[in-house]
Chains A and B, each alone.
Chain A
Amino acid sequence: MNTQLFALAIFDGVAYAALVFLVAVGLTLIFGVLQILNVAHGSFYAIGAYATASLGGMVFAAGFSPYLAFPLMLIVAVLVGIALGGLIEQFLLKRIYVKEGALQLLVTFAVFMILEDVQRLVWGVQPYFESSALQALGNIKVLGITYTVYQLIVLPCIALAVLICLRLFLRRTLSGKLILAVTEDREAATSIGIDADRVYLLTFIVGAALAAFGGALASATTSVVPGMGADMIVLSFAVVATAGLGQIEGAALTALLIGLGRSFAVYLMPELQVLVPYLIMLLVLLVRPQGLFGIAQARKI
């Protein structure tokens, strides 16, 4: 493997990791607060991608600047977060917080199945491709390799910005501190007057919006096809589990690890490409059952 291929694999891996991180961080945030693994998270990702690709197509066909793609992505993410995430939390998840874990998992699984068909009904089965944002920013030459600015610079920067903003939000703002308090101990938080229901809703909306944002960003780099949500939920779960459930910074590093592992597999052993994330996950969990950055939980009697 020469230097160029090596660099290419690293670029691919970083760009991919940035997208996976956005989805995984939402998943891990929701789990940290609600203690629910949201299988429908993959649908938020896919819907964000579909909405951006189809709306973007209309906007650009009308002759507007391709740079409008970026505000459009943000708008789509917020809308999906509030409309879809908010509704699902309010009308569905609220009813099942008291039920056992297996049933909670099944409820989000059911939502995922429903949303898969909703996507097919709204957008059909033909792939969407809308890469104006990618093309508008042009290419850059690094180490003798021509790569898109969008994937090499914009995506990692956005992922980093989200990581920093999320950390500042959780540590420095009142809403963020409320979220942390409820994560730490729901009962104690409620007893000092924190409205845990509102915190749940807020967290779920933020998490869903992050997934949709990831999808919106991804739509510029790849064609949007049915089934992308299913692939992403399993992959981002692998990231979240490897990092340790609820670990935000850990999810960033693990996304990078899995992203790089996957892109090196593409060049070295293409048939293993799909397997690498799971192999990494299994290996890590075999040695550290709580994940790379997770803290072993005290067991309650």
Chain B
Amino acid sequence: MALRKIIPVLLVALVAALPLLAPFTQVMLTLALAKGLAVLGIIVLLHAGQVSFGHALFFAVAAYTAAFVGKSFAGGELVAMMVAGTLVAAVTGLFVGLFVVRYRHIFFGMLNLAFSMIFFSFLEKFYHITGGSDGLQVLRPSVLGIEMERTGFEMLLFYGSLVICLAAGWATWAFLRSPIGNMMQTIKTNEIRLEYLGVSARATLLAGYVVSAALCGLGGVLMAVAQGIVTPEYAWWIRSGEFVFIAILGGANSVAGAFVGSLVYEIVRTYAAAFAADVWQMVLGVFLLAIILFASDGLVGMYNALMDRLGGKGGMRTDDAREAAE
């Protein structure tokens, strides 16, 4: 049924139009998109059945890189920040990855956590380099050499982020469908069979790991520029946990889920957290339990189930819906 394909397009259009209708939502949506990119990185790894509790590391590495670029080159240049941040995140991902891809499941998750904790302590303790817990300021950078006013810059940042997210979503979708993406899926189902085919499981996972680190990095740069400040909190384990939470909320098996999840999460957090500030973590925990126990495909899964019911039998497979959502 065509409805299934139309609704995602309408949703994207709605997100694009929202800042024009309600300008106060613009910053919130930009932050949601930045987080969505990081969540996309988590989803790449979930594709191989691995969950990382330390991906805030790459988010923070890239954000601090952007801050340093800004500090060293008089305000900096947005495109340079994005390139540098993503690159540094990818290289960090390569080095951390070389170590962690030897492990699976619990070890994989917790070793990632250990790395991010080490970086977090570094950010806090080495005050003269990182500004300690006060963090570093990120001044508004120029864009391709053009200095911009605040409103214009924020508008550009939002639509730029939207375009980047759509492109990154499509690229990730293609990556997961490529031979290497299929091999990653085999790590989840049966790794030894993969090795019998002559494929190195570690090299495969490492490729996925670098991609996921780069995605987190890109998200981190956008976040840093949108917020105008980077703090050690970027690398804290709560943030890593948040990424994993959003991935499960949106739907761990789908690219669209990363952005659906992060938009819903950010909107709910902005407006509902005020009423439940004391029990916010509890609310998240209960939701996480409910999703894992009762709706393990997340929001995207619910959407597909709903469409299946509306569209009757023979509805599209999840993959096609994902394609439509892109």
Contact = CB atoms under 8 A, between A and B. Distances in A.
Interface of A: 31, 37, 92, 95-96, 99-103, 105-107, 109-114, 116-118, 120-121, 230, 234, 237-238, 241, 245, 271, 274-275, 278-279, 281-282, 285-286, 289, 299-301
A271 B128 CA distance: 13
30 contacts: A31-B106, A37-B110, A95-B293, A102-B109, A103-B292, A105-B51, A106-B288, A107-B292, A110-B284, A110-B286, A110-B288, A111-B289, A112-B285, A113-B241, A113-B285, A114-B286, A117-B278, A117-B281, A117-B282, A117-B285, A234-B114, A234-B237, A241-B110, A271-B125, A271-B126, A274-B125, A278-B114, A278-B117, A279-B118, A289-B102
A109 B237 CA distance: 12
Given A101-B104, A117-B282, 17 more contacts: A96-B292, A99-B292, A103-B296, A106-B248, A113-B284, A114-B285, A116-B281, A116-B282, A234-B110, A234-B113, A234-B237, A241-B111, A274-B117, A274-B121, A275-B118, A285-B111, A301-B193
The 5 closest A-B pairs by CB, nearest first: A113-B285, A114-B285, A117-B282, A110-B288, A101-B105
Given A114-B282, A118-B282, A238 B105 contact: no
A105 B105 contact: yes
A278 to B, nearest CB: 5
**Chain B CB within 10 A, most for which of A102, A238, A275:** A102
A50 B99 CA distance: 38
A121 B293 contact: no
A286 B98 CA distance: 11
A117 B284 CA distance: 11
Given A95-B293, A105-B51, A281-B114, A286 B46 contact: no
Contacts of A112: 285
Contacts of A110: 284-286, 288-289, 292
Given A103-B292, A114-B286, A299-B192, A234 B117 contact: yes
Contacts of B53: 109
A275 B121 contact: yes
Interface string B108-139: 01110110011001000110000000000000
Contacts of B284: 110, 113
Contacts of A286: 99
A105 B289 contact: no
B281 to A, nearest CB: 4
A113 B282 contact: yes
Contact of B279 (A121, A234, A241, A289): A121
Contacts of A95: 293
B106 A37 contact: yes
**Chain B CB within 10 A, most for which of A99, A114, A116, A299:** A114
Contacts of B114: 234, 238, 278, 281-282
Interface string B263-296: 0000000000000001111101110110011001
B237 A230 contact: yes
Nearest to B106: A37
Contacts of B248: 106
B315 interface: no
A271 B201 CA distance: 38
B117 A102 contact: no
B289 A107 contact: yes
A289 B104 CA distance: 11
Contacts of A274: 117, 121, 125
A120 B277 CA distance: 12
Nearest to A278: B114
Contacts of B121: 274-275
A106 B292 contact: yes
Interface in B177-236: 188, 190, 192-193
A105 B107 CA distance: 11
A301 B190 contact: yes
A237 B103 CA distance: 15
B49 interface: yes
Contacts of B109: 102, 105
A92 B281 contact: no
B82 interface: no
A103 B295 CA distance: 12
B117 to A, nearest CB: 6
A109 to B, nearest CB: 7
B281 A101 contact: no
Contacts of A106: 51, 244, 248, 288, 292
Interface string B286-326: 10110011001000000000000000000000000000000
Given A121-B279, A274-B121, A102 B289 contact: no
B55 to A, nearest CB: 14
Contacts of B188: 100
A103 B253 CA distance: 13
B50 interface: yes
Interface string B76-113: 00000000000000000000000100111111011101
A238 B293 CA distance: 29
Contacts of A92: 289
B274 to A, nearest CB: 16
A117 B280 contact: yes
